[in-house]
Amino acid sequence: MKNASIPQPSIKEIEMKLRSVIAGKETRENISDWAMNYIINDDNVEVTDYKAWHFLVDVTHTDAAISPGEYLYYNEDFEDWIREYTE
């Protein structure tokens, strides 16, 4: 049985983190690491909103690179994620 003690981030919290990347206030690597911390510690995270959980999983890919300096996802993709999970 899981010992859930860490609340998962809300959709709004995840959106705010992603918007900080879009605005250039946060790096993609930092937000990816932030999201990944929840994913790898999922035994301790109280998952109550599966839509938010899937959004969080997507955010772990913000720093996915296809070559040095070239990313798989860009701000337009992040905006699409936000629309998908907030509407």
Each domain of the chain, given as residue ranges in start order, spans 9-86
Q: How confident is the model over 34-40, as a mean pLDDT?
A: 93
pLDDT of residue 3 exceeding 70 = no
Q: What is the pLDDT of residue 28?
A: 96
Picking from 52, 63, 51, the residue whose alpha carbon sits closest to that of residue 21 is 63
What is the residue whose two structure tokens read 């070559």?
A: 67
Task: Supply the pTM of this predicted model.
Answer: 0.89
Q: What is the pLDDT of residue 1?
A: 40
pLDDT tens per residue across span 46-64: 888 999 999 999 999 999 9
Q: What is the pLDDT of residue 26?
A: 97
Kind and range of the H or E run holding 57: helix 50-59
Q: How confident is the model over 6-20, as a mean pLDDT?
A: 95
Q: How confident is the model over 55-82, as a mean pLDDT?
A: 96
